[in-house]
Amino acid sequence: MAKTAISAHQLVKWFGEGDARTNAVKAASFEANFGEIFYLVGPSGSGKTTLLSMISGILKPDSGSVTIDSTAIWTLSKDELADFRLNRIGFVFQDYHLFPRLTTVENVAIPLILKQRDWDEAIQEALRYLEIVGLKDRAQLPPFKLSGGEQQRVAIARAIVSQPDILIFDEPTASLDGDTGKKIMSFIKDEILNENRCVLVVTHDSRIFEYADKIMKMEDGAVTTIENKSEVK
């Protein structure tokens, strides 16, 4: 039986004050296992980004709990939580957020630098991961000289360079054409996912649903269904 990677229990989040107060996430609960790709899908404003932020330890829920591989993350102190994210969670942001003034390989090395690894050692390790994503020959270029798909792969290399067991993708195909999006998801499934890693993807791109192991639908802040991919298709 697959081991539980993420367990979210009755997560609630409110934003705003008075009449503008909105319940962004309403008692959301789910479990995601190691070795699977878990999708959070839903229309804009459905609360999936808020839920993703609470799961990844960057937005504190008003109530409920998140457990990642037996660690209740919201019981950790601020610094402990930062260390937890650094060591256990890899992020691929929708806009990649690569530093344009650093080279590609330096961007990839950032998590290792934050982990106080020696500069040269971190660069060598980052080069190895750039090779994995097929961009070793672009190592010394600044990210803005790369195509959208290449930047996405650089962001993936940065996310996995510290070997996290949870990978979080925020709209990974939003800026890519259909073919490139599928290639990226195929790469994630074939090369990045393994039995000790859980990949969480927030998307509303139905073209890539085929790569999901589980799909959780959200609407108006509430989890409506958790289905496997065959049911969605």
Partner 1 sequence: MKGILKIAFKLLVNDKGKFAALLMGITFAVFLMVMMTSIFSGVLRSASSVVINIGAKIWVMDPAVTTVANSIPMPDFVQHAVRSINGVKFAVPLYSGSATLRLANGAYQSVSILGLDDTSLLGRPELLEGNITDIFAENGFLVIKDSEINKLNNPHIGTTFELNEHRGVIVGIAKVAANGLFGMPTLYTTYNRAIQYIPSARFTTSYVLVEPKSVELVQHIKDEVKKMGYVAVTNEEFRENISTYYKYKTGLGTNILIMTLISFIVGLSISGQTFYTFILENLDKFGALKAIGAKSRELIIMIVFQAGFTALTGYGLGVGLCTLMIGLAKMRLPNYASVVTFGNLGIAFMMVLIIAIFSSLIGVRKVLKIEPFDVFRG
Binding site for partner 1 (CB under 8 A): 49-50, 52-53, 56, 58-59, 79, 82-87, 89, 91, 93-95, 97-99, 101-102, 106, 110-111, 113-114, 116-119, 122, 158, 170
For residue 6, count CB atoms less than 10 angstroms from its CB and return exposed for 0-12, middle for 13-18, buried for 19 or more. buried
Query: What is the nearest approach in angstroms of partner 1 to the Cβ of residue 78?
Result: 8
In the bound state with partner 1, the residue whose beta carbon lies nearer, of 97 and 207, is: 97
Q: How far is CA 222 from CA 16, 28, 64, 73, 169, in A?
A: 18, 6, 14, 22, 20
In the bound state with partner 1, the residue whose beta carbon lies nearer, of 15 and 186, is: 15
How many Cβ atoms are within 10 Å of 77's Cβ, its own excluded?
Answer: 8
Query: What is the nearest approach in angstroms of partner 1 to the Cβ of residue 11?
Result: 14
To which H or E segment does residue 214 belong? Answer: strand 214-219
In the bound state with partner 1, the residue whose beta carbon lies nearer, of 75 and 228, is: 75
Q: Reduced to 3 states, what is the DSSP secondary structure of residue 194?
A: coil
b (16+ CB within 10 A) / e for 165-188 = bbbbbbbbbeebeeebbbbbbebb
Measured distance CA(108)–CA(64) in Å, rounded: 34
In the bound state with partner 1, the residue whose beta carbon lies nearer, of 35 and 64, is: 64
In the bound state with partner 1, the residue whose beta carbon lies nearer, of 14 and 33, is: 14
Query: What is the nearest approach in angstroms of partner 1 to the Cβ of residue 194?
Result: 21
Query: What is the nearest approach in angstroms of partner 1 to the Cβ of residue 142?
Result: 8
Angle at 174 between CA 155 and CA 57, to 5 degrees: 55
Query: What is the nearest approach in angstroms of partner 1 to the Cβ of residue 17?
Result: 17
How many Cβ atoms are within 10 Å of 58's Cβ, its own excluded?
Answer: 14
Query: What is the nearest approach in angstroms of partner 1 to the Cβ of residue 44?
Result: 11
In the bound state with partner 1, the residue whose beta carbon lies nearer, of 96 and 211, is: 96
In the bound state with partner 1, the residue whose beta carbon lies nearer, of 95 and 220, is: 95
Contact assessment for residue 112 and residue 86, using Cβ atoms and an 8 Å cutoff: no
Query: What is the nearest approach in angstroms of partner 1 to the Cβ of residue 53?
Result: 5
- Please name which of 101, 105, 71 lies closest in space to residue 88, comparing C-alpha atoms: 71
